[in-house]
Amino acid sequence: MRLVGDIGGTNARFALCERGGLPQDERKLSVRDFPGLVEAALAYLAGRSVDEAVFAVATPVLGDVVAFTNSPWRFTVPEAREQLGLRHLAVINDFVAQAWAVHGLKRGDFRSLRPGLVGKPGRPQVVIGPGTGLGVAFLLGEGETARVLPSEAGHSSFSPQDERQAEVLARLRREFGHVSTERLLSGPGLLRLANVLAEIEGRKERFGSPLEVSERAAGDCAPCLEAVRMFSAILGATAGNLALTLLADGGVHITGGLCRNLGPLLNVDAVVRGFTEKGRFARYLDTVPVDQVMRPHIGLLGAALHLAD
């Protein structure tokens, strides 16, 4: 058996898999309950022995030192390998794992948001998913020749698409200086949007969590409804920018529990408008299909597929 992990800023998911097999015995642990990844992995293993592992982590993987972007966890690959008693440990970006998973999913795992034309075989594909942060990766090729390019596009500068978004950006600049797309297109970003929009409207109410924003939006709270609509528009615009960056006419795939849990609140019309309204290249983006991955926890699947590869 091999150990696979999908480690985000909020949760750490672990599973075991056989060589070439799918994840089994999945378990979710809270990051805040453990001082580090090794301690969480040992708690999951509970004395079971493995000699190989793949950890998909929500941070750039640039060497042996791994420091998480949205949590205090930090480790080095050689020390983690030794402490866990592993013969081999691979550490990959969490959206590299997401992209590998997309490569291995079935047609029924997707919900079409915008048909476009049939994705062109072998052409680049965008994988994007808001969560605790904003993950992005690119999937190239198909079959045994497929490969994945990691990305930190979530930390590129946010670009407003209308005057309302520009007003939000101006207020966030006072707080953060540089405002990345992740500051708005994430769970904390949805909460931030709702509170800033309430402030702009001169309302005294403030919201405490992304879940509260979605629940209040379902109850027709005006700032929360606008926040979800703006979030959807920013998601579409960001996906469109990424599709143009790599001419990704193989398709765009939106992943993650945040968008999935929004359910019907996710404003598909706003996503599509944001995606296609690119001036002279609107016609090109009209041909690019956009879908949503509905299967949960695909990071573990992607880690297992990476391990098999």
pLDDT (tens digit, 9 = 90+) per residue, 197-243? 999 999 999 999 999 999 999 998 999 999 999 999 999 999 999 99
pLDDT category of residue 119 using cuts at 50, 70 and 90: low
Average pLDDT of 140-152?
A: 87
Q: What is the pLDDT of residue 270?
A: 97
Q: Are 131 and 143 in contact (CB under 8 A)?
A: no
Tell me what the pLDDT averaged over the chain comes to.
93
Task: Give 116-288's CATH code, choosing from 3.40.367.20, 3.90.76.10, 3.40.190.10, 2.30.30.30.
Answer: 3.40.367.20
pLDDT at 10: 87
Tens of pLDDT, residue by residue over 60-91, are 898 899 998 888 999 999 999 999 999 999 99
What pLDDT is attached to residue 231? 98
Q: What global pTM score does this model have? A: 0.90
pLDDT at 58: 87
pLDDT in tens, 156-193: 999 999 999 999 999 999 999 999 999 999 999 999 99
CA–CA separation, 57 and 12 (whole Å): 9
Residues of the chain with CATH 3.40.367.20: 116-288
The answer to whether residue 38 scores a pLDDT higher than 70 is yes
Query: Residue 220 has what pLDDT?
Result: 86
What's the per-residue H, E or C state across the chain?
Answer: CEEEEEECCCEEEEEEECCCCCCEEEEEEEHHHCCCHHHHHHHHHCCCCCCEEEEEECCCCCCCEEECCCCCCEEEHHHHHHHCCCCEEEEEEHHHHHHHHHHHCCHHHEEEEECCCCCCCCCCEEEEEECCCEEEEEEECCHHHCEEEEECHHHCECCCCCHHHHHHHHHHHHHHCCCEHHHCCCHHHHHHHHHHHHHHCCCCCCCCCHHHHHHHHHCCCHHHHHHHHHHHHHHHHHHHHHHHHHCCCCEEEECCHHHHHHHHHCCHHHHHHHHHCCHHHHHHHCCCCEEEECCCCHHHHHHHHHHHC
Contact between residue 133 and residue 186 where contact means Cβ atoms under 8 Å apart: yes
Structure tokens at 3: 């150990």
Rounded mean pLDDT of 31-36?
95
Region 46-60: what's the mean pLDDT?
A: 92
pLDDT over 70 at 308, yes or no: no
Question: CATH 3.30.420.40 residue ranges in the chain?
Answer: 2-98+298-308
On the question of pLDDT at 307 being above 70, the answer is no
Q: Pick the range with the lowest mean pLDDT from 141-145, 168-172, 302-306.
A: 141-145
Model confidence pLDDT, tens digit, residues 258-281: 999 999 999 999 999 999 999 999
State the pLDDT at residue 142.
82
Question: Looking at residues 37-65, what average pLDDT do you find?
Answer: 93
CA distance 280 to 273: 14
Q: 2-98+298-308 has which CATH code? A: 3.30.420.40
Model confidence at 118: pLDDT above 80? no
Residue 309 pLDDT grade (very low, low, confident, very high; cuts 50, 70, 90): low
Residue range 87-113, pLDDT digits in tens:
999 999 999 999 999 988 988 999 999
CA 109 to chain centre: 17
Per-residue pLDDT at 69: 81
Asked if pLDDT for residue 25 goes beyond 80, the answer is yes
- Is the pLDDT confidence value at 297 over 70? yes
Q: What is the pLDDT of residue 226?
A: 97
Of 122, 121, 151, 103, nearest in space to 306 by CA: 103
Distance (Å, whole) CA 172 – CA 207: 16
Pairwise pLDDT comparison (119 vs 15), residue with the higher score: 15
